[in-house]
Amino acid sequence: MSPADHHLVQIIDAASADAAQRSGHWLQCRLGCTQCCIGIFSITQLDAVRLREGLTALDREDPEKAAAVRRRAAKSVQRLTPGFPGNPLTGQLDESDPRYEDFANDEPCPALDPATGACDLYAARPVTCRVFGPPVRAEDGIGICELNFVGATEEETLAAELDTSWSPLETTLVAEAESQSGRTGTTTVAWAILNR
């Protein structure tokens, strides 16, 4: 991980920890809760680089686990290539493709260990995974996992909103990652793992 990406991850993780603390009992995220690990979601090219580096580190620490992640990714790509909303050769998503919205909503993330419910690439996980759970402001309002803040008032929910002031730094680093890798746009975890 580059020093700049390491710094970004530290900022995001601190902001997420702060939001989780302010969320209190409303936040139900726990090891083994895998709802957010099911279904295809887009990741940046910076996330893709981080995932590949994480997999390389896992190769050194636990080659069998790394091989299992690669097998799950290969099977996922094989299942998802037909009808892929984008370029299935590169894994670049076309989020404007009408198929994207309902594409592969039941597909597990290849980094998810189905036996333990843990992420095998947790330290290298994408930003989306790092911030999922607490309330996050988006263009169309506040996004929250449907398992969290059940019965909370709007005031209680907004009091735990994630601070996303790191977004400009992420945007800069994504542009750098795209320039260095020659890959642009968004992709998925499976394609990121397999497209070295």
3-state secondary structure labels for all residues of 73-142:
HHHHHHHHCCCCCEECCCCEECCCCCCCCCCCCCCECCCECCCCCCECCHHHCCHHHHHCCCCEEECCEE
Question: Could you tell me which of 9, 13, 33 has the C-alpha nearest to residue 118?
Answer: 33
- For 54-105, the pLDDT digits (tens) are 999 999 999 999 999 999 999 999 999 999 999 999 999 999 999 999 999 9
- The pTM of this model reads 0.93
Q: What is the pLDDT of residues 101-133, one digit of tens each?
A: 999 999 999 999 999 999 999 999 999 999 998
Q: Residue 149 belongs to what domain range?
A: 3-194
Residue 85's identity, in one-letter code, is P
The tally of domains found in the chain comes to 1
For the chain, percent of residues with pLDDT exceeding 70: 99
